Amino acid sequence: MRSPLTSPRITATAVAVMLLIGGVVANLDPVHAKPGTGWHPGPAQDIEMRLERMTMDLDLTDGQQARIREIMEADRSRREQQRLELHNQIDAVLTEAQRETRDARLQRLMARRLDRMTERFDLSEEQVDQIKALFEQQRTNPALSRTQMREQISGILTAEQRAAFQSHRPKRWRGD
């Protein structure tokens, strides 16, 4: 007796569904195939990139672009303020020992990030020292936004390194 899962009807249906899915995937616009793109961008996308995509998709007027840019910038500021408030609230709950443990963990993460950056972008010793100082500044100053950090790091890099940095940023560094 044949298993119900191996009947010709189920097999044919499965093949049809797989072909349909394959056809849809093959016809996807590469921009839409990337995570975090389209109308529901993730935090990794820059405001201008998101706005440019919306303008292409929706044919926005200059006035609409300006208003949407204002909304997005206000949202970014609001999220940054929430991030700072969250940091302060968590700090208030942690003991001194817990804050030290967290800070040591963050130091290890920053060291690994700097090692990866040095390897990927062939940083000079001077650049490593400057970026290390920025990481330390970010650690001690929670008000320093990721965008500000990214801009400061970009200012340290050569044009070639900057282009590579923009295309190889880890997800957690791509936006606020």
Whether the CB-CB separation of 123 and 131 falls below 8 Å is answered with yes
Helical H segments across 27-145, by residue range? 30-33, 47-58, 62-93, 96-121, 125-140
Domain ranges of the chain: 35-93, 95-171
Lowest-confidence region among 10-24, 47-61, 91-105, 112-126: 10-24
d(CA 60, CA 66): 10
Q: What are the φ/ψ torsions at residue 159 (nearest 5 degrees)?
A: -60, -40
Question: Is residue 145 pLDDT above 50, yes or no?
Answer: yes
Which pLDDT belongs to residue 26? 39
Q: The tokens of 6 are what?
A: 């191996």
Question: Is residue 22 pLDDT above 70, yes or no?
Answer: no
- Amino acid, res. 98: Q
Question: Is residue 100 pLDDT above 80, yes or no?
Answer: yes
* Cα dihedral 116/37/86/168 (nearest 10): 10
Residues 31-52 have pLDDT tens digits of 333 443 333 333 435 788 889 9
Q: Is the pTM of this model over 0.85?
A: no
Distances in whole angstroms, Cα of residue 153 to Cα of each of 121, 133, 157: 12, 10, 7
d(CA 23, CA 60): 31
Which pLDDT belongs to residue 136? 85
